[in-house]
Amino acid sequence: MRGDGQRTTTRRRLLAGLAAGTTLGLSGCVTLSPSFERSFPDSQVFVRVSASEPWAVNRVRATVTLTERATTELGVRTLVVVTASGSTYTTATVSGGQTSVTTYVPLGTRVKLVAVDNAGAFVEQVTVQTP
């Protein structure tokens, strides 16, 4: 406290507060080495979904490999990640001729990857269990 009765924040108190806030913000959320790979040999759209990172917080970046037909003949233009509760987690835009898409999927749950064509119609979906 200063001589005029007002409080001052000490460097020690400030650092302790920042450390506590960071610990609470990250507690229970970090997953080390999350990785998975799933192939879809019978799919007209999806070839493989894979992810491998040194660590992740609540989600992991996944690479979705598409068939050659997916974006050319079938017209896939959007990939939607749908959670187990049925809500949209994220979407990714796909260009004609593109065969690889990077997107994010939540960790520790089952998600559906839904392919949608340029008219907004459903094309195909697959289910993936994340670590």
Q: Which is it for strands 59-66 and 76-82: parallel, antiparallel or unpaired?
A: unpaired
**Predicted local distance difference test score (pLDDT) of residue 56:** 84
Q: pLDDT band at residue 16, thresholds of 50, 70 and 90?
A: low
pTM of the model: 0.76
Tokens of 18: 């920042």
Q: Which residue has the higher pLDDT, 105 or 33?
A: 105
Q: Assess if residue 14 is contained within a domain.
A: no
**Predicted local distance difference test score (pLDDT) of residue 119:** 97
CA atoms within 13 A on the CB side of 46: 23
Q: Assess if residue 108 is contained within a domain.
A: yes
Q: Assess if residue 1 is contained within a domain.
A: no
Residue 23 neighbours by CB distance under 10 Å: 9
Q: Assess if residue 101 is contained within a domain.
A: yes
**What's the pLDDT tens digit per position in 47-95?**
999 998 878 889 999 999 999 999 999 999 999 999 999 999 999 999 9
Backbone angles phi, psi at 71, to 5 degrees: -95, -10
- Please state, in angstroms and rounded to a whole number, the distance separating the CA atoms of residues 46 and 70: 8
